[in-house]
Structure 1
Amino acid sequence: MYTRVFFFFFRETVNPDFISACRFLNDHMDNMDNPNDDMRKALVVLFQHWFSAAAEEASEASRVAAYLKHVKKETPSLLAFLVNLADDNGNTVLHYSVSHCNYSIVSLLLDTGVSDVNIQNNSGFTAVMLASLTAPDGPGGMEVVRKLMELGNINIRSSKTGQTALHLAVRHGRVVMVRLLLSCGADANIQDIEGTTALMFASDRGHTHIARLLLERSQCDLALTDKRGQTALSIAMQGSHTDTATLLQAHAKARAL
């Protein structure tokens, strides 16, 4: 009994070094763009403890909540800086939490009201893009992902490929995410740097069910061409995806009537 209580208390305790770093940085916020050696040391401490507590696959929401609660109470001006702090790969704790499907932590971060969900990492991915590749196994996770998508720019294009979250979900056959993205207003006609649309990706992969979702739930422009001059239909035919090609032909005929 006492061991269990002690372990719970210990687990929820915020590291003293983190607390000291927060206080020091909070007093020097005006110099954050040009930190001196002492500030750099404090930033390293802040980064290490924050990412260790919140960005690991085994990170626990209760511990993250304790860190966030402390910062909100003691150094509130530092909250947005902490939540949006990125590592050398441009990933924030939100990026990692989404990738780990740690939706309880994602929810905590979103509830702070200061999380910039549109930050792109060095690969050009936002948290919404990463979420489009996941497969939540319950309604709770889906609700958190929906909230994430509603808060972010769902149609933002990757700085590297020009692809959106919808492109990624379609490419990887994430039917549930495609449906959710469309319900949140994803634009199916956005083209990446190669001119490829979500429907073209579905045609290329032979994802007939996803192609049907795109055609029924969005205003897909069947006449759009990529940089090679190919349409979704020609791509499906070239790949011998007969079912997908037949579906596209049927929709084209129906729209022509």
Structure 2
Amino acid sequence: MLSLNDPISEEINLHANSIAQVLQLTLAHAQELVISQPIGVTLKLPPSTGLSRSDEKTKTPLAFLIAGSLFSLAVVTASGYVAYQYAMRERASTAIVTAGFELGPNGLIRAISGRHLELIPAYARLGFSLSATPRVIEAAFISGSSAVVDAVLAGGATLAHEPNLGSFLQFAVDSDDPAVVEALIGLQPLSSNDVLPQIRHVIESGKWKAFERLALEEVYLSFESKNGETIAHVAGLSDSASLIQALQLSGRVDWTARNAQGQTALHFAVHNDKATAAAALVALGLDPLQEDSEGRTPLMIAWEKGRDSVIAAITNGSKVALEQLLKSDFSAVFRSDAVLTARTLIAGGIQLDAVQPNGHTPLFDAVQSSRLEMATLLLGAGASADAISDMRDVQGVTPLMMASANGHIPLIKLLLERGASTTIRASNGATALSIAKGRGRDDVVSLLGSTVN
């Protein structure tokens, strides 16, 4: 044991490297180092050391100063007296030094923030308190690691210095780790003051995995905004089936709740294109034909916004919604990439070759809009490659004629593979080949000319 109990007041003029060597040697050979008296040291250091400048005539009370590349620590009490005892465990100190961390509070904070789990107990063994500052627990939650949080809590860290949990809730949710949220809830009950801003943060960040645990707290289950939104509406924004399932299992959520505009959670999901949440909510019994205060249903909103995946989700298994969908003018679907909605319509029994209100068959709409995937879907479902449609001035136009006019080679090849005729004439006498010649499309003429039957 090495003990420095006698006041030292003589002037010591040493370069930084000399100080480092002396104190490093002392620490390396000491099983325990006790410093209980002030040490007056006058330092004369060259500017190149990078250490804090010290007046040559003033004796500065330091517990010790470890300089150089390995150590940098100065601990001074307000009165100039230091009473620090370090239980020097060679393995612990070596690990911290090897990692390049300071033997002090700032080094501890850095170790926690950086998720250096193995260093946290090492600092504790060296006498650094994990409950001395709120920065310790803050750094643990910022790290986003439940293992780091557990280690810090095991070392005695508390939330005693932080009555407002708002920032810690944000850190916990940002971790996207339910275990971090669990640890936070175990430290201190949540208050209603924390709920609204945190829900806003969750919605913006999309960290729903961690929020699944948070949302089961009483203060969240009973949440209701000034506009009447509840935790059910928040779940509708999540696109998280597991969150909705967890809330359902709680038995505390009113899924039929409507806000001031008469909107349900399903309205929220559809408005925000959350197909997974929409499907989960329909499975719970929410009605895709439920009108809000303006008479707008989730299905109507999805249709107007072209929410392809949402339409498929909310009509799946809902006979009434599907019937409503089939009554719509769905020609826009086949002019788009809404393949999921098209599959829903096909499964619902639409007439694939029937002329729609715009005078076109579904396949003609797909070809006219150059939708290769949609045309492939329709032909695969049984649509006729030669089903005729009417244009504004010409009747009897086939999909192949339209593809030839557009010069869309992949569509032309697809239609020919599916048996499209090259000899059918429209009301003006035009064929697919004559249309290609008139448009100067030599590539199409060459393709069609080799298949004229």
Alignment TM class, shorter chain as reference? 0.5 to 0.7
Question: Which residue does the alignment assign to 2:364?
Answer: 167
Structure 1 Cα separation of the partners of residues 408 and 285 of structure 2: 48
Three-state SS of the structure 2 residue aligned to 1:204 is helix
Question: Is structure 2 residue 332 aligned with structure 1 residue 130?
Answer: yes
Runs of 5+ unmatched residues, structure 2: 1-180, 182-189, 196-210, 221-229, 236-253
Question: Which residue does the alignment assign to 2:416?
Answer: 215
Question: Which residue does the alignment assign to 1:106?
Answer: 312
Q: Describe the shift of the 1:80–1:9 C-alpha distance in structure 2 as closer, same or farther (beyond 3 A).
A: closer
Question: Is structure 2 residue 449 aligned with structure 1 residue 249?
Answer: yes
The alpha-carbon deviation at position 240 of structure 1 amounts to: 0.9
Structure 2 Cα separation of the partners of residues 220 and 9 of structure 1: 52
The alpha-carbon deviation at position 9 of structure 1 amounts to: 4.3
Equivalent of residue 206 in structure 1, options 372, 390, 407: 407
Q: Describe the shift of the 1:9–1:168 C-alpha distance in structure 2 as closer, same or farther (beyond 3 A).
A: same
Structure 1 Cα separation of the partners of residues 347 and 258 of structure 2: 36
Deviations 1:75-125 (A, max 9, x none): xxxx69659xxx89xx8356346x233x1441331321331243233xxxx
Three-state SS of the structure 2 residue aligned to 1:201 is helix
RMSD: 3.5
Alignment of 1:188-207 (within 5 A): 188-194=385-391, 195=395, 196-207=397-408
Is residue 170–residue 201 contact of structure 1 (8 Å, CA) maintained in 2? Answer: yes
- Over the matched positions of the two proteins, sequence identity in percent amounts to 22
Question: Which residue does the alignment assign to 2:381?
Answer: 184
Question: Which residue does the alignment assign to 2:234?
Answer: 11
- Runs of 4+ with >6 A deviation: none
The alpha-carbon deviation at position 168 of structure 1 amounts to: 1.8
Question: Which residue does the alignment assign to 1:236?
Answer: 436
Q: What TM-score, normalized to structure 1?
A: 0.62
Structure 1 Cα separation of the partners of residues 256 and 347 of structure 2: 34
Structure 1 Cα separation of the partners of residues 355 and 269 of structure 2: 27
Equivalences, count: 199
The alpha-carbon deviation at position 213 of structure 1 amounts to: 0.6
Is residue 171–residue 201 contact of structure 1 (8 Å, CA) maintained in 2? Answer: yes
Structure 1 Cα separation of the partners of residues 257 and 231 of structure 2: 17
The alpha-carbon deviation at position 63 of structure 1 amounts to: 4.5
Q: Describe the shift of the 1:144–1:182 C-alpha distance in structure 2 as closer, same or farther (beyond 3 A).
A: same
The alpha-carbon deviation at position 236 of structure 1 amounts to: 0.9
Alignment of 1:72-83 (within 5 A): none
The alpha-carbon deviation at position 51 of structure 1 amounts to: 8.5
Amino acid in the other structure paired with 2:307: H
The alpha-carbon deviation at position 170 of structure 1 amounts to: 1.1
Amino acid in the other structure paired with 2:400: L
The alpha-carbon deviation at position 167 of structure 1 amounts to: 1.1
Runs of 5+ unmatched residues, structure 1: 19-44, 72-78, 137-141
Q: What TM-score, normalized to structure 2?
A: 0.38
Q: Describe the shift of the 1:60–1:146 C-alpha distance in structure 2 as closer, same or farther (beyond 3 A).
A: closer
Equivalent of residue 120 in structure 1, options 325, 328, 342: 328
Structure 2 Cα separation of the partners of residues 200 and 225 of structure 1: 9
**Could you say which structure has the greater relative contact order, defined with CA pairs below 8 angstroms and 6 or more residues apart?**
1
The alpha-carbon deviation at position 239 of structure 1 amounts to: 0.6
Structure 2 Cα separation of the partners of residues 162 and 54 of structure 1: 34
Three-state SS of the structure 2 residue aligned to 1:210 is helix
Three-state SS of the structure 2 residue aligned to 1:213 is helix
